[in-house]
Structure formats: structure tokens, C-alpha cells
Structure 1
Amino acid sequence: MDIEGLREAIGAGRVEIRRSKRRSKTIGSLLEGETIVLVLPWRYPVRGNEAQLASLITRLEKKIGSVRAGALDLEQRCRDLTARYFADDVLPASVRWVGNQHTLWGSTTSVTREIRISDRLRFAPPWVLDAVLVHELAHLRVLDHGPRFRALVAAYPQYDRAQDFLAGFSAGQEWSRSARTA
């Protein structure tokens, strides 16, 4: 995006500028619906810094594009896993990667049928990602981790192996964090 594109996007409401008295130096960016929101320090001048803001938006748009493409892959995986391991056609309303899950591998909101998968799994072996998706898909059918839930996830043949992998991965991450702070 160039400076003229930035001005046009602001005028059309595709980009919103918000000021924050809490920010002193950094610029934040986020996506709300289809609107890119730039959160600027209260005294940050837009004029004179338009090239920097346009560059930030370009980077964010690339990231959004890759996240959306990844979400489509997750949705297809969920359709495939549902067809293979569940005797119904219950599908999530959305499945997406998130960067704010540091202790969970995935989470499901049963009311909205949304599944979120930690981006720590982006480079995990496919069978591990599938096990996490099967786990979250099972939560669309059963809320707790009781016998019915365990029977559903047991249908995935590598579920226990994936749990072992994730336990080792978590231990390695914890060890790495403690080694850096020591």
C-alpha cells in the first residue's frame, strides 16, 4: 500500500486510526471484521508518517492473507476428519489459528461452534494437528472429557501417540523458558 492508498482506505473506512493515551512509542494493529485498526500513541502525527503506516498495513494484509489461507486448510481438515471419524455432519462454524494460546493446544466454544488452534502447532506433524482437531471436534458433541468424549477421540488411531508428542513438546518449551531465565 502506498500513501495515496492509505488515505483512500482511511476515507473509505477500511482503515481506522485510534489514539491511545496508554501508548507512548509503539503502534498496534488489529483486524476488526474487515476493518484494519491502527492504534497510535496519542501524540503520534499521521502526516509525515504515512509511508510507515502504509508499510505496516501492507505487512498486516500479507499476514491476514496467510492466516485466512491457513484457516481454509483447517476447515477442510475438519470436514475430512468429521467424515472419517464421526457418524454425523456436525461441523464448526469457524476454525482458525490464534497466537494467544500459550497453554492450550486448541479450544472450542460450543455455543458459537468456533474452534481456535494454537499457532504453536503450525509446524507440528500433520497427525498431531489432526489429533488436536479431533479433540476439538469431539467437544462440539460432548462438552466434558467423560467416557463418551474419550470414546469419540479414541476413534482417531494416533490420538494417544499425539498426546505423548504434545506432552514432550510442552516439556521442551518449559525447559527452554526456564533455561533462558536462569
Structure 2
Amino acid sequence: MGLQVEVRRSRRRRRTVQARRDGDTIVVMVPDNLSRAEERAVVAEMVAKVERRERRGSRRSDADLMQRAADLSDRYLGGIARPTSVRWVGNQRSRWGSCTPDAGTIRLSERLQTMPGWVVDYVLVHELVHLIEPHHDAAFWAWVANYPHTERAKGYLMGWSDGHGVDRPPSEEGEVD
């Protein structure tokens, strides 16, 4: 069986092109106004980019991420946070992760892939807690505190953020993610 590629055209997308792995398929999202020749060239380029990234070995698969989330939920949250999906995304520039509690979906920024595992685990726990407590209130932070490296990971992300000129992660003082 060969490589499966799905092209999704969007009228809302104007210039940007994105690609991601979804199981055995590489999904490429393109603007609707591309010609077929432009689409073929862009799709070939984006498929090659995804394959290069995966060959580098730094990519933890979405399936690995989902399993890691289940393990973290069991270990630190009593197993009650059960996402429907957990995946890496490349479109988060100001957030480390996001969660849609109603749908049970969690997305983590691909920027985290080069960071230590305990930092990725903190962001996963943070997003898992949103499935229990949607707001950054005291109850939310009490759940997050079950992860033993919370303060260390928050410090790491603050330092990384300051060093790269991006927004800091949320804290108990009311910042948002």
C-alpha cells in the first residue's frame, strides 16, 4: 500500500498551506484558489516536509501522544480525564497547547517536540485538566499541581518563552493560554 495523501481545499484559507500526519494519511490543507499545477507542486513539497520531519526522529507520533495522555491521566488525575484525541499541530504560535473540553480534543504545539519529556508531560497534564475544569481557577491549578514537575516545567517554559520573545504560559496569577 502506497502513501496516502488527502488534499483539503478551503475558501477561508488565503495563502497558507499546512500538512500533518493523520494516521496513515498525510493531510495537506491548501487555499481554494490554487491552480491544479500549483496544488501538485505545493502538495509534493509539503509531503516531503512531513516525511523529512518524521525521518529526523524528533517527532513523537500522535498515537504515542494519546497513549502518553492516558498514562498521565491515570497517574496524576485518577484516570478521569479521557480525551477523544490528542495530536501535534503546527499552527500554534502563542500557545503551548489547547483543549476543546466539549469535544474532548487536545492539541499540542509542535514547538514542544524538541523539549524535554517532563515539559511535554506538564503541558499534556495542563490540557487534560481542562477536560475536568475548563477555567484557570483554583480548582484547575489544584489538579495541575498533582504533576510533580509542574513548577519546574513552568519555569522552563517561562525561560524558553522569554528567550524566544513569545508569550509566557499561563499561571495562577490569571494569565491565559
Please report the TM-score for the alignment, with normalisation by the length of structure 2: 0.69
Specify the SS of the correspondent of 2:78: coil
Equivalent residue, structure 2, for 1:82 = 73
Moved more, 163-172 or 98-107: 98-107
AA in 2 matched with 1:120: R
Q: CA deviation at 1:149?
A: 1.1
1:133 paired to 2:129? no
Cα distance, 1:116–1:17 mapped onto 2, change above 3 Å: closer
Which has the larger displacement, 138-147 or 68-77? 68-77
Select the residue among 170, 173, 179 that pairs with 2:164. 173
Q: C-alpha offsets along residues 2-52 of structure 1, whole Å, 9 cap, x if unaligned?
A: xxx9xxx8xxxx6558698x97xx894657x8665555865x563xx8985
Distance 1:157 1:101, change over 3 A: same
CA deviation after TM superposition for structure 1 residue 61, in Å = 6.2
Does residue 1:59 correspond to 2:48, yes or no? Answer: yes
Deviation at 1:64, TM superposition (A): 9.2
Q: Distance in 1 between matches of 2:98 and 2:54?
A: 23
Deviation at 1:53, TM superposition (A): 6.2
The alignment partner of 2:99 has SS state of: strand
Report SS of the residue matched to 1:111. Answer: coil
User: 1:91 Cα deviation (Å)?
Assistant: 1.0
Structure 1 residues not aligned, in runs of 5+: 176-182
Whole-angstrom distance in 2 between the partners of 1:113 and 1:50: 33
Bigger CA radius of gyration: 1
Task: Please tell me the root mean square deviation across aligned C-alpha atoms, in Å.
Answer: 3.8
Residue in structure 1 matched with residue 152 of structure 2 by the alignment: 161
Aligned position for 2:139: 148
Shift of 1:87: 1.8
Query: Any idea what the Cα deviations from partners look like across 1:55-83, whole Å, max 9, x if unmatched?
Result: 43642663797899621111111011011
Mapped to 1, the partners of 2:154 and 2:102 lie a distance apart of: 26
Q: How many residues align?
A: 158
Percent sequence identity is 36
Among 83, 94, 104, which residue is 2:95 paired with? Answer: 104
Question: Could you tell me which amino acid in structure 1 is paired with residue 157 of structure 2?
Answer: L
> Structure 1 residues 16 and 168, CA, compared in 2 at 3 Å: closer, same or farther?
closer
